[in-house]
Chain A
Amino acid sequence: MAGLGLALLLLGLVPAGAVWPQPQLVRESPGGGRCRLSPSRFRFGYARSSAVGPGCAVLDQAFRRYQRLLRDAGPRGPGEGPEAAAALPGEDTRPWEPLCAELLVSVATPHCDGFPDMDSVESYKLSTSEDLSLLSSESVWGALRGLETFSQLIWRDEDGTFYLNKTDIVDFPRFAHRGLLLDTSRHYLPVRAILETLDVMAYNKFNVFHWHIVDDPSFPYESAAFPELSQKGAYNPVTHVYTLNDVKLVIEYARLRGIRVISEFDTPGHTHSWGPGGRIRKSRPSCRGWGLAKTTPNWSLSTSRVMGELSLFILYCFSPGSRLLDIISSYGKGYVVWQEVFDNGVKVKPDTIIHVWRENAGPYQQEVARVTKAGYRALLSAPWYLNRISYGQDWQTAYQVEPLEFEGSPEQKELVIGGEACMWGEYVDVTNLTPRLWPRAGAIAERLWSNKTVRGLQDAYRRLANFRCTLLRRGIQAQPLFTGYCDPEYSGF
C-alpha cells in the first residue's frame, strides 16, 4: 500500500532550450531552424579572433570532454522531439536537413594557465546555427560555462538522430561564489568520488569546491610537514588518506573545470583528530579561552605552502585575539570564516567573508543583514544543508530560497557573494553520496546562477527532471525527483 496520491507536478513538455541552470537570456530562432549533428564529426575549435588557441589546456581538455558528452544527449523530454518537430511548418524530411559543422570558441583575454578566483568572469555568449556556432567569452572560465550550455542544447529524436536548434544565448552568473561542501572527515571519500562530484558540479555551473577535509572524527590529509597528523589521525593511515598527489590532482581537475578548491582546516574546535598526531593540544570544542599551541603557526604556514594553489582558507571559531588570522593573511591568503567568528566579535580583516550557516540562532536572514551591515561579505549556507534529508521533494525548499531576501540597503545586498550547498558526512559516504547530492544540489546551482525571476516550480521541475536523466546518461547516479523514468535507466552497478 503506497497510500500516496498522484503528483501535482507531472512531466510535461520541456520548453525549447531546456538548460540547467537556466541561462539569463535564451532566444530560440522563431523560424525553427535546426541542424543534424554527428557527435563524431562535429568539431570544437578556436575562432581566429580568440586570444587563446591550441595548447590552452583548459579548453583543449574541455573540447575533448564535451565531444564525448555529445553522445549522451537525450530526448528533450517526454512528448517532445518528433511531435515538436512535426509541428514546425514546412518541415523537410531529414535527409535534407543541414549538418551542424562546428563550434568555434573565442576568448578575449589570453590567460589560460591560472586558477579561477573570486573575480573570474564567467559570462559568455552562444549563438548556434547550421554551419557555424559561435561561443564568445571574456575568459576561459566563461567559455567552460558556455560549452556546458551548448552540450545541453543538443537533443535526440526517437530515431536516435542528434539535433541542435538555432539558438542565441547571453549568460552570466547572478552570484560569484557558487559552492558545494563535501566532508571527508566523518567519512572518507575516495578521490574518484570527489572527482566525479567535480564533474557534476561543472554540469551545474558550480564554481567552488569547499573541501571540509579534516574534522574531529579523522584527519585524512597527509601533511608533508607533519605526517603524524594523518598517521595517527586518519581512520587508516594507508587507505583512508589524501596524499599530496591526491590533493594536487583534485586541485588541477577542478581548475580544468573552472572550479576553485577551498580547503577548510577547522580550528580550534573540531580538532580532536589533530590531537593523536601530537601537534595541537587536544582541546574541547569551544570558541573561547583557547590558546593556540606553539606549533600551530608553523603548521599553518607549511600547509599553506603545500597547498599553495588553494585560493582561500576557511577557518572557524577563534578565540578573540587569536594570531592565526594574522598568520594566514601575512601569507597572502584571504579567508572565509564561519559566522561564529563574527558573532563572537573576533577582529577580522574587512575583506573577510562570513559564512552564514546557523539556523537555530534566529532566522538566517537576520544574520545576513547583520553581517552585511557591518560591511562584511556574506556567504549563505543555512537553508542548504543537503545532508538533512526528509521525505518528498525537498529540492523545492532549497530552490525557493531567495538569498537577497533580508532587510538591508542595496549596498548590503551587493555584499552577498553567493552560497554553498553543504553535504556533511555524518550519514554520508561513497555508498550514498551521489544520489543524495544530485539532483538536489542542482536546485541551489540554479538559484545561484540564474536570474532572480527564475522561480517557477513547475518549469523547474520539468527541466530538472530532464536534467537528471541527462546526468544518468552521463553515468551519474542521480536520484529521481518523483515517479517516472529515464531512458536508459542508471546501469552503472
Chain B
Amino acid sequence: MEPARLFLGLLCASAALAASSLHQRAPPPEPLLLEEEPELGESPSGSLWPLPRSLRILPRQLQLAPARFELVHGPGSTAGPGCALLQDAFRRYYEYIFGYSKWQNQGQRQLPAGTELLQLQVIIGSKDSECDNYPNITSNEAYQLSVTEPVAVLKAEKVWGALRGLETFSQLVYEDDYGSFLINESEITDYPRFAHRGILLDTSRHFLPLKSILTNLDAMAFNKFNVLHWHIVDDHSFPYQSITFPELSGKGSYTYDHIYTPTDVRLVVDYARLRGIRVIPEFDSPGHTQSWGKGQKDLLTPCFNGEHQSGSYGPVNPILNTTYHFMTDLFKEISSVFPDAYIHLGGDEVDFTCWKSNPDVTEFMMQQGFGIDYAKLESYYIQKILDIVSSAHKGYIVWQEVFDKGVKLKPDTIVEVWIGSWYTVELSRVTGAGFTTILAAPWYLDYISYGQDWKKYYSVEPLNFIGSEKQKKLMIGGEACLWGEFVDATNLTPRLWPRASAVGERLWSSENVTNIKDAYNRLVKHRCRMLRRGIAAEPLFVGYCDHEARGL
C-alpha cells in the first residue's frame, strides 16, 4: 500500500464538504504535495532550532560529566544567586541536558585532562539585568555563547538573552552511543530577527486545562517564541473569572470546572515570565461576545424580528452608556491582572444584521448622523474602547478590520493581519499608514492538511511585501494561530508542534535561512528532543526517535 501517493480526489472532495458546511470562510484549497521521501541526513548545524544568526562549530569535542558540570553565574555578572529567574532556568536546563539518561550509575570516572567542559558561566552585562521584570516588546534577547575548554561563557545584556542562550547551549549538547555527553567547541552570536514571535491559543471554543497551557509555554521556550496570545474568551464560553464581574464566567463558562481563576491566570503569567514569554490576553469585542451576554444583562444588542425582540442577541450594544461603564471597569481589572503593556482588543468580524434590526440602534444612528453606515457605528464603539484602554495605560493590538474600517488609532497601535488572501497588500497598506504590524495570515495552524505542511509555513517571508525600508521596519513579527474549533487538550500538542517550530525559525533566524533540506534534518532532531522533554510533538515523516513519546 502506498497511501501517500494516491487519494487526491477524495481529499479535495471531503475538504470542500467539511468547509462549506461549517464556515463562512473556507481555508484555501491545498495544493497536494506529493511527497518525495525526504532523505534524512546530518545538518552541519546539528540539531539547533531555530538556527542562530552566526554560528561556528569547531571539530573539537568536549565532554560534560553530569556529576561535575555546573551552570553558574559568571564573574562580573550583574545577576547573581538572588536572580530567581536564572536560578530556576539553571535547574531547568540542567535537567533538560542530563535528566533523561541513567548517568547516575556512571560513577565518578576522571576524564582525560583538557577534554572536559566544567562549567557554563552566565554573565549579564547590563547594570539592570531585568531579572524581576516582565518581558516586553523591546526586551533585549541577544546573547553570545562561547564554548571552549574548560568553561563555556554565555554573555547577555539582560536575562532574556541569557534564557535564549541557555536553550541554545542545551541544544549543542548531545549524547553518544555510550551515554557520554558531548559538545563541540563553538562560537555563537545570536539575536532575533523579529521582536514579536507569538503563539495564539483559543480557550473559548474549547477549554484548555492549565497544564496544557503550561506545557505549551515550555515548548514555546524550546522554540524561542516570546508571546502567548491568549484568546481567552469568545462566543462559545467565557472561562476568565473576573473579580469585578464574577457572573461573566459564572454564567458564561461551559461549567464551573471550565474556568481560569485569578490564581490560574497569575500562574500562567509567572510561568511565562520565567521563560521570557509575554502573555497578551485578547478580549475581543464588539462581535464574538455571545458568552459575555449570559452574565452581563443588557450588554449585548437585542435583535428584532419586525416589531418584536426575537430573543437572540447580536454584538455588544454600542448605544448604551452602561456598556462603556462596564467596559471601563472590566478593562481596568484586566489591565492590572495582565502585566503586559498590550491588550488585544479583537474587533474582527462584526455582523451588522442585529444592529440593523434594532429600532433603538437605528434611532441612535440618526442622532449621530451615521445614516445607514453601520461601519461608522462600529468605529464609534471601537474608538470608545480604545480610549478606555488608553486611559488604563495600555497599548493595544487589533485585528486588521479595525484598521480597514478607518477607525482612528493611536500611532503605537499594532495591527494584526490575518485575512488569508492578499495579506501582502494589507501589510503594505497598514505599514504605509505608519502602523506597526504583526502577521498571522499564513500561519493558521488549525487549518490542517495531509502531508508536510510545515514547509509551507517555513517558506513564508514576512517582509515580502511592497514597501519602503521604513515600512519594513514596522513589521515586528508574527503569530502562529491554533484556533479551537477542532482542538482541545487531546490534540493540541501534536497539532501545534513541531509545525509551529517552522514559524519559530522564520521569525527568529536570518532571512537567508531557507534551505528546506537542512531545516528538515535539524527539525527531525529538534522534534525528538521535544519528545524527550515531555512534549508530544508529532512526526514530520517516516522514521523514529531513540526515545519515543512517553505518556499514554
Taking a contact as CB atoms under 8 Å apart, the answer to whether B18 and A393 are in contact is yes
Contact among A360, A424, A492 with B9 in the assembled complex (CB-CB below 8 Å): A360
Taking a contact as CB atoms under 8 Å apart, the answer to whether B494 and A391 are in contact is no
Which B residues touch A489, using CB under 8 A? 207, 209, 257-258, 488-489
Which B residues touch A218, using CB under 8 A? 544
Known: A4-B485, A435-B490, A480-B487. A427 touches B22 (CB 8 A): no
User: Is A240 part of the contact surface with B, judged by Cβ < 8 Å?
Assistant: yes
CB contact list, B206-255 vs A, under 8 A: 206-207, 209, 211-212, 215, 231, 234-237, 254-255
User: Is B538 part of the contact surface with A, judged by Cβ < 8 Å?
Assistant: yes
Taking a contact as CB atoms under 8 Å apart, the answer to whether B17 and A396 are in contact is yes
Distance A31 CA – B2 CA, assembled complex (angstroms): 55
User: Is A493 part of the contact surface with B, judged by Cβ < 8 Å?
Assistant: yes
Taking a contact as CB atoms under 8 Å apart, the answer to whether B490 and A479 are in contact is yes
Distance A29 CA – B315 CA, assembled complex (angstroms): 45
Taking a contact as CB atoms under 8 Å apart, the answer to whether B3 and A385 are in contact is yes
User: Is A217 part of the contact surface with B, judged by Cβ < 8 Å?
Assistant: yes
7 new A-B pairs (CB below 8 Å) besides A186-B542, A266-B1?
A187-B542, A389-B449, A391-B486, A428-B539, A436-B491, A483-B485, A490-B209
Known: A8-B21, A493-B212. A485 touches B451 (CB 8 A): no
**Closest CB-CB distance, B333 to chain A, in whole Å?**
24
Give the number of chain B interface residues (Cβ < 8 Å). Answer: 85
On B, residues with C-beta under 8 Å from A are 1-4, 6-11, 13-15, 17-19, 21-25, 27, 30, 35, 202, 205-207, 209, 211-212, 215, 231, 234-237, 254-255, 257-258, 288, 346, 348-349, 399, 416, 418-419, 440, 446-452, 481, 483-491, 493-495, 531, 536-544, 546, 548-549, 551-552
Taking a contact as CB atoms under 8 Å apart, the answer to whether A435 and B494 are in contact is yes
Taking a contact as CB atoms under 8 Å apart, the answer to whether A4 and B23 are in contact is yes
Taking a contact as CB atoms under 8 Å apart, the answer to whether A493 and B234 are in contact is no
**Closest CB-CB distance, A107 to chain B, in whole Å?**
34
Distance A240 CA – B547 CA, assembled complex (angstroms): 10
Taking a contact as CB atoms under 8 Å apart, the answer to whether B22 and A8 are in contact is yes
Taking a contact as CB atoms under 8 Å apart, the answer to whether A427 and B11 are in contact is no
User: Is A388 part of the contact surface with B, judged by Cβ < 8 Å?
Assistant: yes
Which chain A residue shows the least CB distance to B420?
A3
Which B residues touch A359, using CB under 8 A? 6-10
Contact among A431, A477, A490 with B537 in the assembled complex (CB-CB below 8 Å): A431
Give the number of chain A interface residues (Cβ < 8 Å). Answer: 74
Contact among A4, A192, A430 with B24 in the assembled complex (CB-CB below 8 Å): A4
Taking a contact as CB atoms under 8 Å apart, the answer to whether A2 and B202 are in contact is yes
Distance A333 CA – B184 CA, assembled complex (angstroms): 57
Which B residues touch A431, using CB under 8 A? 493-494, 531, 536-539, 549
Taking a contact as CB atoms under 8 Å apart, the answer to whether B418 and A389 are in contact is no
Shortest 4 CB-CB contacts between residues of A and residues of B = A392-B18, A432-B494, A435-B491, A235-B544
Which B residues touch A211, using CB under 8 A? none
Which A residues touch B399, using CB under 8 A? 1
Taking a contact as CB atoms under 8 Å apart, the answer to whether B485 and A485 are in contact is no
Question: What are 14 residue pairs bridging A and B, where the CB atoms are less than 8 Å apart in the complex?
Answer: A2-B483, A3-B23, A3-B25, A4-B25, A187-B542, A188-B548, A285-B2, A385-B3, A389-B448, A392-B15, A392-B486, A396-B18, A422-B1, A426-B541
Taking a contact as CB atoms under 8 Å apart, the answer to whether B552 and A193 are in contact is yes
Which A residues touch B448, using CB under 8 A? 389-391
**Closest CB-CB distance, B51 to chain A, in whole Å?**
24
Taking a contact as CB atoms under 8 Å apart, the answer to whether A426 and B542 are in contact is yes
Taking a contact as CB atoms under 8 Å apart, the answer to whether A429 and B3 are in contact is no
**Closest CB-CB distance, B528 to chain A, in whole Å?**
11
Taking a contact as CB atoms under 8 Å apart, the answer to whether A390 and B485 are in contact is no
Taking a contact as CB atoms under 8 Å apart, the answer to whether A472 and B490 are in contact is yes
On A, residues with C-beta under 8 Å from B are 1-8, 186-188, 190, 192-193, 196, 212, 217-218, 235-236, 239-240, 266, 270, 285, 316, 338, 357-360, 382-383, 385, 387-394, 396-397, 422, 424-432, 434-436, 472, 477-485, 487-493
Which A residues touch B546, using CB under 8 A? 236, 239
Distance A181 CA – B356 CA, assembled complex (angstroms): 54
**Closest CB-CB distance, A372 to chain B, in whole Å?**
21
Interface centre among B207, B488, B493, B537 (most CB of A within 10 A): B488
Which A residues touch B255, using CB under 8 A? 485, 487
Taking a contact as CB atoms under 8 Å apart, the answer to whether A390 and B489 are in contact is no
Distance A435 CA – B536 CA, assembled complex (angstroms): 12
Which chain A residue shows the least CB distance to B254?
A485
Taking a contact as CB atoms under 8 Å apart, the answer to whether B418 and A3 are in contact is yes
Distance A1 CA – B416 CA, assembled complex (angstroms): 9
Interface centre among B25, B209, B258, B486 (most CB of A within 10 A): B486
Taking a contact as CB atoms under 8 Å apart, the answer to whether B552 and A196 are in contact is yes
Distance A360 CA – B258 CA, assembled complex (angstroms): 45
Which chain A residue shows the least CB distance to B451?
A427
Contact among B18, B25, B215, B540 with A390 in the assembled complex (CB-CB below 8 Å): B18
Distance A243 CA – B27 CA, assembled complex (angstroms): 45
Which A residues touch B202, using CB under 8 A? 2
Which A residues touch B211, using CB under 8 A? 491, 493
Distance A192 CA – B548 CA, assembled complex (angstroms): 12
Contact among B237, B254, B541 with A427 in the assembled complex (CB-CB below 8 Å): B541
Taking a contact as CB atoms under 8 Å apart, the answer to whether A1 and B348 are in contact is yes
Known: A193-B552, A394-B14, A472-B490. A4 touches B22 (CB 8 A): yes
Distance A5 CA – B25 CA, assembled complex (angstroms): 8
**Closest CB-CB distance, B56 to chain A, in whole Å?**
33
Which B residues touch A3, using CB under 8 A? 23-25, 348-349, 418-419
Which B residues touch A186, using CB under 8 A? 542
Taking a contact as CB atoms under 8 Å apart, the answer to whether B552 and A393 are in contact is no
Contact among B488, B548, B549, B551 with A480 in the assembled complex (CB-CB below 8 Å): B488
Contact among B2, B23, B346 with A5 in the assembled complex (CB-CB below 8 Å): B23
Taking a contact as CB atoms under 8 Å apart, the answer to whether B449 and A5 are in contact is no
Which chain B residue shows the least CB distance to A472?
B490
Which chain B residue shows the least CB distance to A429?
B539
Distance A138 CA – B27 CA, assembled complex (angstroms): 50
Which A residues touch B10, using CB under 8 A? 359, 382-383, 385, 388
